Amino acid sequence: MCDTCGCQLHEHHQHDTKVVEVNKSLLEANQKQAHSNRHHIEKMGALAINMISSPGSGKTTLLERTIEALKDTVKIGVIEGDIETERDADRIRAKGIPAVQLTTGGACHLDAPMVHGGLHVLEHFAKGEGFDLIFIENVGNLVCPSTFDLGEHRRVILLSVPEGSDKPAKYPSTFRGADLVLITKMDLLPHFDFSVEEAEIETHTLKPDVPIIELSSTTGDGFEQWIDYLKEMLKK
C-alpha cells in the first residue's frame, strides 16, 4: 500500500492495470464534481482559492491576517481541511468569519465531493448574501492535493523558510500547478539555511511565469503584495 495516498501497489501487471483503471475512474469522477463545484462557487458570486502546503507552513496564520486586512470590504468564507480536529476552523471563526471544517479521517487531501458538501454548509452561513472570496485550506501535504481539482479558480502554494529551499525540486507536480507561490515565515530567514534565490530558480524552472511573493504573516513584511494580488483577482 502506498504510504502517501493509501492506493494499492502490486508488482503483478494485471493488478497494476486494475489499479490504474480504478484511479483513472476516481479522478474522472472528481474532475466532474470539481467542474460542478466551480459553477456552484460562481453562482455564489465568489472566487475560490485552494491553498496547498506542507504541515506547519503557516496557512491558517496567513488566513487570519488576510481576514483582518479584508473582512471590512470583502465577504470571506473558509473551508478547512484536516485529518482530525476543528482547531483551524475555530481560529477562523474567532475572526468572525464562517468556516466549515472537513475532517478526512486519515485521507491526505481534500477532494471535490468533500468540498461540494462543504460549499452547501458554507452557503447556509451566507444566508443568501453569497461570498466574494472562498479560501479552501487543504490538508497539509505537498503530494496528494496536487492531483485533485476542487473547483478552485486559483491554486496558491506555500513554501515556508524552515522547510528548505529545495522543496520545488522535490515536489515538482505541486509547484507546476501553482498560480502563485508564497514563501512564508520570511522573518525566520536569519535562523535557517534557506536560499530564496534557489527556491525561486527551482520554482521558475518548473513554471517560468508563476509569481512569487515573499512574506511574513508575523511581521507583515511583504503582506501588502499578497493583499494586492487578491484584490486584483477579485476584479477579474
What pLDDT was estimated at residue 8? Answer: 40
For 19-35, how does the pLDDT look when each residue is reduced to its tens digit (9 = 90+)? 566 577 789 999 999 99
Which cell numbers in the block locate residue 205?
Answer: 524552472
> Given a cut of 70, is residue 102 above it in pLDDT?
yes
Kindly report the CA angle at 96 between 94 and 99, in degrees rounded to 5? Answer: 80
- 157: phi then psi, degrees, rounded to nearest 5: -105, 130
**102, 115 Cβ separation under 8 angstroms:** yes
Look at residue 125 in the predicted model and tell me its pLDDT: 86
Instruction: Give domain limits for the chain.
Output: 13-235
Distances (CA, A) of 90 to 98, 99, 130, 132: 10, 8, 21, 21
Nearest to 223 by CA among 179, 177, 195, 185: 185
Q: For the sheet with 47-52, list strands across it.
A: 99-103, 76-82, 133-137, 47-52, 154-160, 180-184, 212-214
- With cell 506547519, the residue in question is 56
Give dist(CA 69, CA 185) in Å, integer.
18
pTM metric for this prediction: 0.90
Superfamily of domain 13-235: P-loop containing nucleotide triphosphate hydrolases (3.40.50.300)
Q: What pLDDT shows up at residue 4? A: 40
Q: What is the mean pLDDT of the chain?
A: 92
Q: What is the pLDDT of residue 19?
A: 56
| Coil vs helix vs strand at 184 | strand
What pLDDT, in 10s, does the model give residues 53-93?
999 999 999 999 999 999 999 999 999 999 999 999 999 99
pLDDT on residue 1: 39
Question: Is the backbone of residue 232 left (phi > 0), alpha (psi -120 to 50) or beta?
Answer: alpha
Each residue's pLDDT tens digit, 119-156: 999 999 887 789 999 999 999 999 999 999 999 999 99
pLDDT of 18 reads 58
Cell 465577504 belongs to residue: 75
Residue by residue, DSSP assigns 6-68 as: -----SSHHHHHHHHHHHHHHHHHHHHHHHHHHHHHHHTT-EEEEEE--TTSSHHHHHHHHHH
Examine the pLDDT at 9 and tell me if it is beyond 50: no
Query: Does the pLDDT value for residue 109 go beyond 70?
Result: yes
The pLDDT score that the predictor gives to residue 187 is: 98
- The answer for residues whose C-beta is within 8 angstroms of residue 201's C-beta and 6 or more apart is none
